[in-house]
């Protein structure tokens, strides 16, 4: 049997790959209006970055991280040797830890400077049980804002994410925005203790996972999917009853900004998120229809201690990430179909082999000025070259026979309105020279500029 892509991964074939490009471009454009600049960090980082940043007791770190071992290190391990912690690398399960590491390493938030606003897009890796909307390699677009603790940053981020979702076509009414506050290093430990005590009092009713969570990370019990645990957690202590005055005020101000922007949200006191770095605001956007069991299309929150955790000076942070694959499911539920890409604008057909070299040169000249030009590479007859041109979506076809090459006058046919016009190749060459073919500057000429609009005939 032919080899398949690994379970939980998928190929983005050309139509979808083009959509992913457009998706990223739209995100960078929308977030750019809020001052976010792009950053790219490595797909692999030191394992201890994730252990320290995301938290050793989280599922993401304890169960789902792919650790990369070089051949040499593998030999050392098999031989019973030890590998240095600096050589232990993992594929990134999320983007925040890497961006924060880069911000500290390159001092992107010098003291007193404006906040660093960074946006990124790319693949993340988690060894989860694959299902619809849950992949082992998936794509995220995320943002991180470092250096400001005002609640306006949280509200601005949430509003910006909702604007992006609407811009790409996810209907506003189909989204549920859930928000909560996780408290800070002063009030959260008290809440954590209360949840621990609650779990301890009901230990016989807990699933095995929650019995373990009770000791390692009791707040994770709020995320348990087990029916009994879910029912039990409905009567567990609520963070809102434990928030300190500062956290309460922060949360209230975030909500007041959201209210002023007419953003509808649901306060969900059981929302705890799966990563340990959050403080204060947390939120998630869910689309219950059409996404299957995995309804969260994006989420994030504030993390005021993470930069210190990674070795930087105290710097507050806020961010979110959205899952591209889940957004596609939500978009498909709303009627999205990927567009068929146009591969060719002008096709140069050869009457016989004697004109192939001239056609080859012409096609190159057209490509150099930014047109999608194509010719046959498989020795097709003239008739089947026209069929191929049609298949490739070419609007124009030029036919080159010995006569055309000799006279330099070429007939170009518009495949849409079937009009034809004669084009003087010498003049066309002058036009091509005029446009000059400047690579990296995008399209410098349009087909209409070179061949006319075909309106006048
Ligand atoms: P997260 O909630 O783990 O947060 O992931 C963000 C989004 O990525 C999810 O809402 C979901 O759409 C998508 N996602 C997560 N896991 C998978 C998966 N296995 N398959 C497909 N999609 C998935 C973070 O990653 C944080 N770094 C967000 C953040 C940034 N918080 C602060 N800054």
pLDDT tens digits for range 393-415: 999 999 999 999 999 999 999 99
Q: Is 280 in the pocket of ligand 1 (CB under 6 A)?
A: no
| Mean pLDDT in residue range 82-88 | 87
Backbone φ, ψ for residue 266 (5° rounding): -120, 130
pLDDT of 457 above 60 = no
Say how many Å lie between the CA of residue 121 and the centre of ligand 1. 12
Residues 6+ positions from 79 with CB-CB distance below 8 Å: none
Cβ atoms of 144 and 174 closer than 8 Å? no
Ligand 1 and 325: CB distance under 6 A: yes
Of 78-87, 247-256, 316-325, 431-440, least confident by mean pLDDT is: 431-440
- Predicted confidence at residue 443, as pLDDT, reads 59
Distance CA 280, CA 184 (A): 6
Residue whose Cα lies nearest atom 31 of ligand 1: it is 300
Distance 162 CA to ligand 1 centre (A): 16
Query: What's the gap in Å between 163 CA and the centre of ligand 1?
Result: 18
Treating both helix axes as pointing N-terminal to C-terminal, what angle do 151-168 and 14-32 enclose, rounded to 10 degrees?
140
Whose alpha carbon is nearest atom 29 of ligand 1? Answer: 320
> In this model, does residue 439 exceed pLDDT 70?
no
Tell me how many degrees the CA angle 320-322-324 measures, rounded to the nearest 5.
160
Per-residue pLDDT at 449: 85
Selection from 213, 232, 228 nearest residue 274 by Cα: 213
DSSP state of 422: E
277 lines ligand 1 (CB under 6 A): no
Structure letter (DSSP) for residue 341: P
Site to substitute for ligand 1 among 131, 132, 140, 284, most atoms within 8 A of C-beta: 140
In this structure, what are the phi and psi dihedrals at residue 204, rounded to the nearest 5 degrees? -70, -20
Quick check: CB of 144 below 6 Å from ligand 1? yes
194-228 pLDDT tens trace = 999 999 999 999 999 999 999 988 998 998 989 99
The number of C-alpha atoms within 13 Å of 354 and in the hemisphere containing its C-beta is: 7
Probe residue for ligand 1, chosen from 103, 323, 325, 329 as the CB with the greatest number of ligand atoms within 8 Å: 323
Using only C-alpha atoms, what is the Rg of the chain? 29
> Model confidence at 85, in pLDDT bands (50, 70, 90)?
confident
Ligand 1 atom closest to residue 95's alpha carbon, by position in its atom list: 27
């Amino acid at each position: 049997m032919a080899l398949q892509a690994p379970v939980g991964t998928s190929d983005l074939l050309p139509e979808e790959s083009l959509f992913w490009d457009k998706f990223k471009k739209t995100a960078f454009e929308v977030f750019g209006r809020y001052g976010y600049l792009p950053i790219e960090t490595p797909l692999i980082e030191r394992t201890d970055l994730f252990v320290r940043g995301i938290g050793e007791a989280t599922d993401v770190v304890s169960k789902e991280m792919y650790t990369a071992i070089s051949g040499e290190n593998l030999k050392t391990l098999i031989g019973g040797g030890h590998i240095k912690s600096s050589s232990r690398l993992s594929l990134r399960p999320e983007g925040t830890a890497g961006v924060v590491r880069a911000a500290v390493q390159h001092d992107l938030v010098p003291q007193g400077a404006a906040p660093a606003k960074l946006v990124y897009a790319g693949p993340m890796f988690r060894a989860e049980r694959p299902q619809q909307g849950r992949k082992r390699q998936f794509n995220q677009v995320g943002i991180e804002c470092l250096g400001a603790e005002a609640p306006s940053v949280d509200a601005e981020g949430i509003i910006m994410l909702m604007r992006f979702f609407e811009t790409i076509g996810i209907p506003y009414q189909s989204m549920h925005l859930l928000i909560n506050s996780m408290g800070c290093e002063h009030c959260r430990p008290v809440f954590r203790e209360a949840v621990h005590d609650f779990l301890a009092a009901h230990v016989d009713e807990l699933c095995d996972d929650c019995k373990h969570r009770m000791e390692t990370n009791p707040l994770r019990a709020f995320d348990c999917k087990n029916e009994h645990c879910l029912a039990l957690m409905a009567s567990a202590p609520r963070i809102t009853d434990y928030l300190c005055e500062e956290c309460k005020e922060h949360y209230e101000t975030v909500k007041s900004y959201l209210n002023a922007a007419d953003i509808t949200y649901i306060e969900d006191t059981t929302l705890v998120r799966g990563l340990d770095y959050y403080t204060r605001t947390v939120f998630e956007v869910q689309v219950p229809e059409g996404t299957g069991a995995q309804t969260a299309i994006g989420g994030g929150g504030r993390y005021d201690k993470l930069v210190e955790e990674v070795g930087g000076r105290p710097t507050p942070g806020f961010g979110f990430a959205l899952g591209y694959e889940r957004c596609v499911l939500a978009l498909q539920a709303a009627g999205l179909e990927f567009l068929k890409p146009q591969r060719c604008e002008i096709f140069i057909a050869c009457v016989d082999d004697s004109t192939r070299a001239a056609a080859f040169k012409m096609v190159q000249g057209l490509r150099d000025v930014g047109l999608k030009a194509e010719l046959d590479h498989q020795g097709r007859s003239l008739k089947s070259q026209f069929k191929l041109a049609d298949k490739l979506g070419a609007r124009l076809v030029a036919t080159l026979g010995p006569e055309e090459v000799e006279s330099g006058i070429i007939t170009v046919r518009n495949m849409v309105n079937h009009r034809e016009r004669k084009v003087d190749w010498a003049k066309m060459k002058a036009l091509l020279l005029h446009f000059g073919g400047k690579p990296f500057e995008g399209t410098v000429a349009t087909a209409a500029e070179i061949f006319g609009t075909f309106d006048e005939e």
